[in-house]
Structure 1
Amino acid sequence: MNEEQKKLEKVVLFPGVVAKLVGKGMEALKEKQFSEALSYFEQALEIEPDHPQGRFGVALSLIEQSRLEEAKDVTEQMLNEDIGNYYDILQVHISLLVQLGHYDEVVSMLEGIMEEEKLPANLAESFYHLLHFSRQMVEDGTPVEVAEDIQVPPEDLIQMLNEASPEKQWLAIQMLGKMSSNVFFEAVKDYLKIDKRDPVLKSMILQMLKEKHIDEEVEIHKFGKNINITVSEMENVFHEKFGKDTLAIVAEQLESENPSLFEMITQLWWHYLYALYPISPEPLSSKLWAAALHKVGGEMTGHDEDELQLARQYNVNLEEMLLCSTKIMKLEKEAFKG
């Protein structure tokens, strides 16, 4: 009997058992019983080795136990074997690569995907930012890879987070992210309150809090605003529809005649929205931000645009367009670069 026949026989012999084991594994994850969850998922895979939820459950259980390298191997194998929802797995895999400091792999993967296909809007915001950041890390050669067996006490990492350069703050966040959910939350909640701290790093922290299923209220200071929000109630991509609608307007003007400029504007826009998260752009006018992006993109690539003509082209107020373009440029200059 070959391997495939053996697998089939196991599934037939244990009808419904796999689903029950996976269900118990998911329940154990919710209850933060991570070793128990891993055991359930592994039992399910003994019967049905290619079960998508079972494989994904193993990855999530390993992540919660800070066994990131092992989790990366699981998600990598799932992507290679086309098991499970591709983009769900890709999102977790890229997050693991970033946390492990494998920036060259992030760049290689995302660039390859973007060349072949358009990213779904619900992933574009964070992926474009991670590509932008990882490119900086690769170019600068910043030594930020973190070992699996962390020995640095949380108190030292908190001090690094509050006193060091943005590069060191990034490293502290990644190292704290490998610790338990409670330790991570207690360490970063004060960072979110300080208005002068880097907005992009705050967005990363919020994303990690959500990935860790932390159900606590956080206070966030960004760009002079004070926000109180429960982590579990935050959308994964707060600006998804607005961001997509804005790019659709730019695409009408640029995508066919200057695709490289449109691609650059797309990255610029998602990077801006990521840094702004969870604040919405003001005013909420897709046409206005589309015009501003066109102006900024043109300037950044050495094409001086006729501002009045551009405002007329997008049917927006000139002064409002200039104000929005200034906001984009200001954030792009001030936001953390790797």
Structure 2
Amino acid sequence: MDKQKGKIIHFPKLKERLVEKGLERLQAKKYKEALSLLQEAYELDSTDADVELGIVLCLLELGKLEQAKERCYKILQEGKGDYFQILQIYLSILIHLQQYEEVIMTIQAVLEESDNMDPAFRQNLINLLHFSTKMSDQTSIDIKREEATRLVQLLLQSDDTTEHMNIIKQLEKEDIDSVLPILKQYLADEKNNPLTKTMILQLLISKRISERIVVKKFGDTLTIIPSELDENMQSDFASEVLHILEKQLGIESPSLYNLAESIWLRYLYILYPFIPKSEANRQWAAVLHITACKYQGVKINKKNIAELYGVSYEQIQPLCQSIWEIEEISRF
């Protein structure tokens, strides 16, 4: 240090000696020592592309990939050194980081802008572009599968039907192939929530799942193929019952009819994919009339209501119990 002028006096050719030692350490795979020496050299001369490239290689070998990426990108932007050599290193860093979208964008830009490129190097870039596109697609699929697995685990851990609804809504956007075996197990377990089972079935239908699925609800078992389910069967039966009910209750009390209709549609939704016996449509109309009155606190003679539909109260008692049990389930 020159105390009078306050300046640092460097040894002659200090930078060259640091670079030489740094590159020797790099070749000897002593990357930490090499990095320290090359960084000292860079502080003396920040314009030397070889020094910067040496630093990038050290960072890469030390696993400091993000730092290596940033430094290499800076060299490319400043136009230092052998552009195509540095580009190759930059692309290899991106691949190490599995940042395939950036690889794709970089190669596409280079292919569009560079006319004077060695044909062999151009072909290498094209091959790398194809590889990165394939890996990008696969990475996207893997991410969706991981998210689907996470969501299904949340579903299994929760007893909250509202949360189940939100989770299944999110699963609509994901690839569910990897979690299909878990969903199938859920549907086949009698103990699981029947409302959630219906929501899962709707999901499988929307995904056009063509595998055989066993569904257990309310002591019954059914094997179905979601992509082949005919929802019109249940819809036709539902309409028949409502038509009978409307003739009687729709005129007497439109508000009660609307309530009965809601109860009926909820019942069928939770029962799905099972369908009530179609020959019992008048019985079900009577049950819905009675249930709607019970909900509203309307005092009625149940036997008289049954007779309005040409059935006996004894016939519909089990159905009344069934629909009330499912109403309890639907309150979430």
TM-score after normalising by structure 1? 0.52
Counterpart residue number, 1:163? 157
Counterpart residue number, 1:200? 195
Measure the CA separation in 1 of the matches of 2:199 and 2:148: 18
Deviation at 1:285, TM superposition (A): 0.8
- Deviation string 1:231-288 (CA, Å, 9 cap, x unpaired) is 1221134411111111111111111221111111111101101111111114741100
Counterpart residue number, 1:332? 327
1:151–1:285 CA distance, 2 compared to 1 (3 A): closer
Deviation at 1:183, TM superposition (A): 3.3
Q: Does 1:253 align with 2:243?
A: no
* Contact persistence 2:287–2:316 (CA under 8 A): yes
Please, which of 295, 302, 305 is the counterpart of residue 310 of structure 1? Answer: 305
TM-score after normalising by structure 2? 0.53
> Residues 106-185 of structure 1: matches in 2 within 5 Å?
153-165=147-159, 166-183=161-178, 185=180
* Contact persistence 1:311–1:317 (CA under 8 A): yes
Deviation at 1:311, TM superposition (A): 1.6
Deviation at 1:328, TM superposition (A): 0.7
* Contact persistence 2:212–2:224 (CA under 8 A): yes
Please, which of 304, 312, 316 is the counterpart of residue 321 of structure 1? Answer: 316
> Residues 233-252 of structure 1: matches in 2 within 5 Å?
233-252=228-247
Measure the CA separation in 2 of the matches of 1:238 and 1:184: 29
Q: Does 1:224 align with 2:219?
A: yes
Q: Which runs of 5+ in 2 are unaligned?
A: 1-136, 138-142
Measure the CA separation in 1 of the matches of 2:152 and 2:145: 14
* Contact persistence 1:292–1:325 (CA under 8 A): yes
Counterpart residue number, 1:4? none
Q: CA RMSD in A?
A: 2.3
Q: Tell me the secondary structure at the aligned position of residue 174 of structure 1.
A: helix
* Contact persistence 2:246–2:257 (CA under 8 A): yes
1:237–1:188 CA distance, 2 compared to 1 (3 A): farther
Measure the CA separation in 2 of the matches of 1:258 and 1:289: 18
Deviation at 1:185, TM superposition (A): 2.7
Q: How many residues in Structure 1 have an aligned counterpart in Structure 2?
A: 190
Counterpart residue number, 1:190? 185
Measure the CA separation in 2 of the matches of 1:264 and 1:301: 9
Measure the CA separation in 1 of the matches of 2:200 and 2:148: 16
Give the percent of matched residue pairs that are identical in Structure 1 and Structure 2.
Answer: 29
Measure the CA separation in 1 of the matches of 2:230 and 2:198: 12
Q: Which has the larger radius of gyration?
A: 2
Deviation at 1:155, TM superposition (A): 3.4
Measure the CA separation in 1 of the matches of 2:233 and 2:209: 18
Deviation at 1:158, TM superposition (A): 2.5
* Contact persistence 2:168–2:203 (CA under 8 A): no
* Contact persistence 1:238–1:277 (CA under 8 A): no
